[in-house]
Amino acid sequence: MSNIISDALVKFDRDVFLEAVKKALNDGTDPMVLVRDLQEGMRLVGERFKTGNYFLSELMMSADLFSQAMKLIEPKLEGMVRETIGKILIGTPKGDIHDLGKNIFSTVAKGAGFEVVDLGVDVPAERFVEAVEDVKPDILGFSALITTAFESMKTVADALTERGLRDDLKIIVGGGVTIDKVLTYVGADAQTIDAVEGLALCRKFVGQSVGAEKI
Ligand code: B12
C-alpha cells in the first residue's frame, strides 16, 4: 500500500505530511482510515530500522510527526461520548515505552463510551495488579510493541490468577508486534493489532452488540 500520508511520513516530509492529514480531515475522510495510513507509515519506518536503513533518530522523528498528526485527528476520534459502557485499565508493560498505539486505542475507546484508566508506559507487574484491585476494570488492555514485554504481560496475568482477580476480568493484548500466539502465552482473552477491531472486541466483552466497527 502506498499513499501520500504514509509516503510523506516515511520520508519525514513534515509539510506535505501535515497538509495531507489536514486536507483529508477537511474532506471528511474517516479518521480511522487516517490512523491506518499513519500506522502503515510507521510499519514502513520500522522495516527500514530493522534492515539498518534508518537509525533510532529516524524512529524518533517519525514518532514526533505521528504525534503531531494525532493532535489533529484526535478531536474527530473522540466523537460522541454517551453513557459509560464499561471500564478499561490500560498500560504498556514493563520493558516497553511505546505508547502511540495505546493512546489511539484509549481515545477510540473513550469515544465509544468506555471509561479508560491509563497507567502509562513501562508499568511494573505489581502496579497493574494493584490497579486491577483499586479500579476494578471490566477489561485489562496491554499495549506491547517489543517482544520482551510478552514476559511482563504473562507475569501480570499469572499474578492476577493467583490472587483470584482473573475470573471476572477480560484481558486484551494489542500492539504492532503481537500475534495470536501471544494470546495463549499470556493467557489473555483476545489479541489485535487494530484499534477498531479492539474496540469491537471490548464492546463484546461488556455485552454490547458488535457490528459497525468490525471492518
Ligand atoms: C515509533 C517507534 C518507536 C518510538 C516510540 C515512540 C512512542 N512514544 O511510542 C521510539 C523511537 C521511542 C522507539 C524506541 C524503541 N524501539 Co521502536 N518502534 C517504533 C515503530 C517504528 C512504530 C510503532 C508505532 O507506534 N506504530 C504505530 C501504532 C499506531 O501502531 P500500534 O502500536 O500497533 O497500535 C495500533 C494497534 O496495534 C492498536 N493497539 C495498540 N495498543 C493497543 C492496546 C489495546 C488494548 C488494543 C485493543 C489495541 C491496541 O491500536 C493502534 C491503532 O490501530 C515500530 C515499528 C513497527 N513495525 O511497529 C518500532 C519497533 C516497535 N521498535 C523496536 C525497537 C527495537 C525499539 C528500541 C528497543 C530501539 C532501541 N535500540 O532503543 C526502543 C525501545 C525502547 C523500549 N524499551 O521500549 C522494534 C521492536 C522489535 C521487537 N520485536 O521487539 C520495532 C518493531 C522496530 C523493528 N522492526 O525493529 N520506537
Residue 1 pLDDT:
42
Give the atom of ligand 1 at the shortest distance from the alpha carbon of 105: 50
Q: How far apart are CA 199 and CA 110, in angstroms?
A: 10
Please give the distance, rounded to the nearest whole angstrom, from the Cα atom of residue 115 to the centre of ligand 1. Answer: 24
Q: Is residue 198 lining ligand 1, measured as CB closer than 6 Å? A: yes
Please name the residue that has the C-alpha cell 466523537.
Answer: 79
β-bridge mates for residue 186, sequence order: none
Give the atom of ligand 1 at the shortest distance from the alpha carbon of 199: 47
Residue nearest to atom 27 of ligand 1 (CA): 39
pTM for this prediction = 0.88
Residue 215 pLDDT:
31
Q: How far apart are CA 70 and CA 75, in angstroms?
A: 9
Residue 178 pLDDT:
78
CA–centroid distance for 109 within its chain:
10
| Residues 141/90, Cβ–Cβ less than 8 Å | yes
The SS3 call for residue 118 is strand
β-bridge mates for residue 116, sequence order: 88
Q: Domain ranges for the chain, please list them.
A: 4-78, 86-205
Residue 39's nearest CA partner among 62, 61, 56 is 62
CATH of region 4-78, choose from 3.40.50.300, 3.40.50.1370, 1.10.1240.10, 1.10.1040.10: 1.10.1240.10
Residue 167 pLDDT:
94
Considering the domain 86-205 in this protein, what is its CATH number?
A: 3.40.50.280
Q: Is residue 56 lining ligand 1, measured as CB closer than 6 Å? A: yes
The tens place of each residue's pLDDT in the chain, 215 residues long, gives: 458 999 999 999 999 999 999 999 999 999 989 988 998 898 899 899 989 999 889 988 998 999 999 999 988 887 655 578 999 999 999 999 999 999 989 988 887 789 999 999 999 999 999 999 999 999 999 999 999 999 999 999 999 999 999 999 999 999 988 788 889 999 999 999 999 899 999 999 999 865 444 33
Residue 82 pLDDT:
59
SS3 letters for 132-144?
Answer: HHHHCCCEEEEEC
